[in-house]
Amino acid sequence: MVSAVSVLSAFSGWQAIDVEEEAEPVRSYTEELAYVEREDGIGLEGALIHPTAIESKDTAIIWVHGNTSRYYDLPYVQVGREMAALGYTFVTANTHGHDLMSELWDDVGTSPAGGVCWERFDEVPMDITPWIDLAMSRGARRVVVVGHSFGANKVTYYQAVKQDPRVLGIICASADVKWQADTEKVELAERMEAEGRAEEILPQLEAAWYKTSVQTFLARARIAQHVLTSDTQTPYIANVKCPILAFYGTEEDWCGTQIDLDNIKRNATGSPRVDTCLLEGADHIYWGKAAQTANLISDWIEKLMNDHDK
C-alpha cells in the first residue's frame, strides 16, 4: 500500500510535488517500559511486548538476561517481538545483576550496587518473583520462564527453590554449564571472606575489565555452578518439578552441544518432561534466528498445553 505525500523541492523553485512513499507495515506488537519492586524494595527495570495482531494467549513469557546483559538488548527484543506476533505477552526482565556494573534504587531512594560485579546469586529468586507477579496482574494465567546463558542458571535456581505453581515450564536457552570456579581463586576468596573483606573486589579474573566482589564470586562457586550440573553435589535442577526445555544453537559449540543437553536432561530427575533441541544455524544470541527461536518456544508450549488437556 502506498500513500502520496507533498514535499518541497529545491530544484523546482520550492514547488510542491507529489511523490509516492511506502506506508510503514502494521506492527504486530506494542511495547511499554515496566518497573517492579523486589520484596526488599529494590526496583528492577524491564519491558512488556504485547501482541496486537491476534488475541493474547493466557501464557506469558518471562525472559531473563544472560551475564553482563540487560533487558533491552536487541536480540532479546527481537525474540520478544516474534513471540508477540504469535500471541504471547513477552516480559524482558532485568535482575539486580544486569550489566557489568549498575546502580540500583530502593524504595527510600538509596542506591546499592548491582551488576555482575556485585550480584548476590542467592537473591535471584527475589528478582524473578515480581516479574511473574506483573505478568499475572496483566491477565496471564501461567508463565513460562526463559533464562538465556547465565540466566538459565537463574531461572532454574528460582524454580528449584520456590516451586512456583504459576510456572508452566522453564526454558534453558544456551545455558552456561561450562564455567567452573578456579580452585586457587576460591581459596583466595574464602580467605578474604574470613578476614571480613567479602565486599571487596577479587583480584583479576579472566580479563582486566571483568572483576567481581568476593561475595559475588563465592556465590557463583557455591551455588550457580551447581545449578545445572555438578561433580560434587546433586544439582539444583533435580528439584525442578515442572517441564523443562533446553536448547543451544548449532553455531555455539563453545557454550554447549548435544552432550551438554544430554547432561541437563539426565540431571533433571524431578521434571515430568525434559525436551532438548539444537537450533540449526543459530549462534549464542540467535542473531537472524529470532523467528525460529520464537517458533521453537511456542511449539513447546503448545505441546505442554496439549498434554495438560489430555
User: What domains can you pick out in the chain, each with its CATH number?
Assistant: 27-177+228-309 (3.40.50.1820)
In angstroms, the CA 38 to CA 185 distance is 31
- Residue 19: pLDDT band by 50, 70, 90 thresholds? very low
* Least-confidence region, from 36-40, 109-113, 137-141, 180-184: 109-113
User: Is 241 buried (19+), middle (13-18) or exposed (0-12) by CB count in 10 A?
Assistant: middle
Under DSSP, is residue 18 helix (H, G, I), strand (E, B) or coil? strand
Residue 8 has pLDDT above 80, yes or no: no
CB 129 within 8 A of CB 161: no
Determine the average pLDDT of the residues in 265-291.
Answer: 98
Bridge partners, 173 (sequence order): 148, 247
- Residue 106: pLDDT band by 50, 70, 90 thresholds? confident
- Residue 20: pLDDT band by 50, 70, 90 thresholds? low
pLDDT tens-digit series, residues 183-240: 999 999 999 999 999 999 888 666 666 789 999 999 999 999 999 999 999 999 999 9
Length of the chain, please?
310
pLDDT of residue 269: 98
Taking residue 309's Cβ as centre, other Cβ atoms within 10 Å add up to 6
CB 97 within 8 A of CB 57: no
- The answer for residues whose C-beta is within 8 angstroms of residue 200's C-beta and 6 or more apart is 192, 213, 214
In angstroms, the CA 239 to CA 157 distance is 9
Please tell me which residue, 73 or 112, carries the higher pLDDT value: 73
> Among residues 304, 138, 153, 130, which one has the least CA distance to residue 230?
153
Mean pLDDT of the residues in the chain: 90
Strands 102-103 and 113-114: antiparallel
CB 284 within 8 A of CB 252: yes
Residues 243-257 as b or e (16 or more Cβ within 10 Å = b): bbbbbbbebbeebbe
CB 244 within 8 A of CB 275: yes
In the block, residue with C-alpha cell 562457586: 221
pLDDT of residue 103: 85
Residue 272's identity, in one-letter code, is P
- Residue 23: pLDDT band by 50, 70, 90 thresholds? low
Alpha helical stretches, state H, the chain:
74-85, 124-137, 150-162, 183-194, 214-222, 258-267, 290-309
pLDDT of residue 3: 36
Helix (H) and strand (E) counts in the chain = 7, 12
DSSP for 134-198, please give it: HHHHTT-SEEEEEEETHHHHHHHHHHHHH--TTEEEEEEES--------HHHHHHHHHHHHTT-T
Quick one: cell of 16? Answer: 510542491
pLDDT of residue 107: 82
pLDDT tens-digit series, residues 228-275: 999 999 999 999 999 999 999 999 999 999 999 999 999 999 999 999
pLDDT of residue 4: 34
Determine the average pLDDT of the residues in 10-22.
Answer: 42
- Residue 74: pLDDT band by 50, 70, 90 thresholds? very high
Determine the average pLDDT of the residues in 131-153.
Answer: 97
Share of the chain above pLDDT 70, in %: 89
pLDDT of residue 6: 30
* Least-confidence region, from 4-13, 125-134, 159-168, 299-308: 4-13
Quick one: cell of 28? Answer: 504486530
